[in-house]
């Protein structure tokens, strides 16, 4: 049984804490948050201890692995500290908003990066995983086109986008990672953004809608469609196309029940909304995978390098949307 500490008890930290507590191969040893009340609440629900400081958590020999679910600017120092303390790390995305800081972190932790996972939960989703498996099995031949539809139910407060790094870095980053997960390395990015949902987001210097095209090193073309608002829920779909056909991962509804009336014929229940529901199984599998990786039984499916690469694509999209030009992405040596 691997002992975990969860740093940060916000929405995503609470989810990880509950997931760890329910995993028969894991034990939730400690939780920490700068808001003591938040940590206490999670501790009460899960039976974990409250770590008064990060240091306490890292010094606890019962803690073998750390989940970093704190605000983004703290990720890099916490990764470094956790690695220095010999812990396995699962860090929420993005590693940082600044590629230079990410690279500095990489230099600092060196080979220990092999024990640092980045929280690209969608890689563990059974539907998207199935697309990847069938692709690798050759079901449609080599990938030629990939279309990712990714829309959040509702926009964050406009204030959030200032600190989040904007749409490409806080939201599309998952899609950039999905592009790499399914299409491999990306070499060229074209992005077009628009403010269609909330003018305040535009006033804050960001976009809330985007259409992106990428070229993979393999030659495949990748399209991403993003919106900060989606009336019918959390729209998460993928379509992969190759010489032998197409694979489609579709939205999941709460039940299979259909309702046929004079007014409508269709799903009785809406699309699963939001990520806590849609990716519940993915989060469970992510923790399972972390346990395997930290035990040396598996290679990271979402590595530090993957975290860096997705951020580099976000930067490229940013540059392309600003300039109207296609941006070349240097592939990592």
Please report whether residue 145 would count as binding a second copy according to CB under 8 A: yes
Number of chain positions touching a second copy (CB under 8 A): 72
- For a second copy, what does the binding mask look like between residues 160 and 179, x meaning CB under 8 A? --------------------
Question: Among residues 100 and 256, whose Cβ is nearest to a second copy?
Answer: 256
User: How far apart are alpha carbons 333 and 245 in whole angstroms?
Assistant: 33
- Residue 16 contacts residue 6 (beta carbons within 8 Å): yes
Report in angstroms how near the CB of residue 126 gets to a second copy at its nearest. 5
User: How far apart are alpha carbons 326 and 66 in whole angstroms?
Assistant: 39
Among 130, 138, 154, 205, contact with a second copy (rule: CB under 8 A): 130
Question: Among residues 88 and 166, whose Cβ is nearest to a second copy?
Answer: 166
Q: Which of 243, 248, 247 is nearest to 142 (CA)?
A: 243
Q: Given the rule CB under 8 A, which of 95-103, 115-123, 243-251, 294-302 is the region that contacts a second copy? A: 243-251
Please report whether residue 277 would count as binding a second copy according to CB under 8 A: no
Tokens of 184: 């491999």
Among 5, 39, 105, 249, contact with a second copy (rule: CB under 8 A): 249
Q: Given the rule CB under 8 A, which of 4-12, 84-92, 241-249, 306-314 is the region that contacts a second copy? A: 241-249
Q: Report the C-alpha dihedral over residues 99, 104, 107, 110, rounded to 10 degrees.
A: -80
* Contacts of a second copy in 187-206 (CB under 8 A): 188, 190, 192, 194-197
Q: Which of 186, 181, 176 is nearest to 220 (CA)?
A: 186
Q: Respond yes or no on whether the N-terminal peptide bond of residue 206 is cis (omega within 30° of 0).
A: no
User: How far apart are alpha carbons 136 and 257 in whole angstroms?
Assistant: 33
Please report whether residue 136 would count as binding a second copy according to CB under 8 A: no
């Amino acid at each position: 049984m691997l002992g975990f500490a969860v740093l940060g008890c916000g929405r995503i930290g609470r989810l990880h804490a509950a997931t760890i507590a329910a995993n028969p191969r894991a034990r939730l040893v400690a939780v920490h948050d700068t808001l003591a009340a938040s940590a206490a609440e999670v501790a009460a629900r899960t039976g974990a201890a409250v770590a008064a400081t990060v240091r306490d958590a890292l010094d606890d020999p019962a803690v073998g692995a750390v989940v970093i679910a704190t605000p983004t600017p703290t990720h890099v120092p916490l990764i470094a500290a956790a690695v220095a303390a010999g812990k396995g790390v699962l860090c929420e995305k993005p590693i940082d908003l600044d590629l230079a800081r990410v690279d500095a972190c990489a230099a600092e932790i060196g080979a220990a990066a092999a024990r640092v996972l980045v929280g690209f939960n969608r890689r563990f989703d059974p539907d998207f995983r199935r697309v990847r498996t069938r692709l690798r099995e050759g079901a449609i031949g080599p990938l030629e086109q990939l279309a990712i539809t990714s829309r959040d139910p509702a926009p964050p407060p406009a204030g959030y986008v200032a600190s989040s790094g904007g749409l490409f870095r806080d939201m599309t980053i998952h899609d950039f990672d999905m592009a790499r997960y399914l299409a491999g390395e990306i070499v060229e990015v074209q992005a077009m953004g628009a403010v269609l949902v909330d003018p305040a987001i535009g006033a804050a210097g960001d976009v809330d809608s985007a259409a992106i095209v990428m070229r993979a090193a393999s030659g495949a073309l990748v399209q991403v469609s993003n919106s900060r608002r989606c009336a019918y829920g959390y729209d998460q779909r993928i379509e992969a196309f190759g010489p032998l056909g197409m694979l489609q991962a579709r939205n999941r509804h709460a039940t299979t029940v259909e309702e046929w009336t004079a007014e409508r014929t269709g799903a009785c229940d809406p699309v699963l909304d939001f990520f806590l529901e849609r990716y519940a199984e993915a989060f469970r599998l992510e923790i399972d995978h972390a346990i395997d990786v930290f035990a040396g039984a598996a290679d990271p499916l979402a590595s530090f390098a993957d975290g860096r690469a997705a951020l580099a694509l976000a930067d490229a999209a940013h540059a392309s949307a600003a300039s109207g030009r296609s941006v070349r992405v240097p592939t990592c040596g």
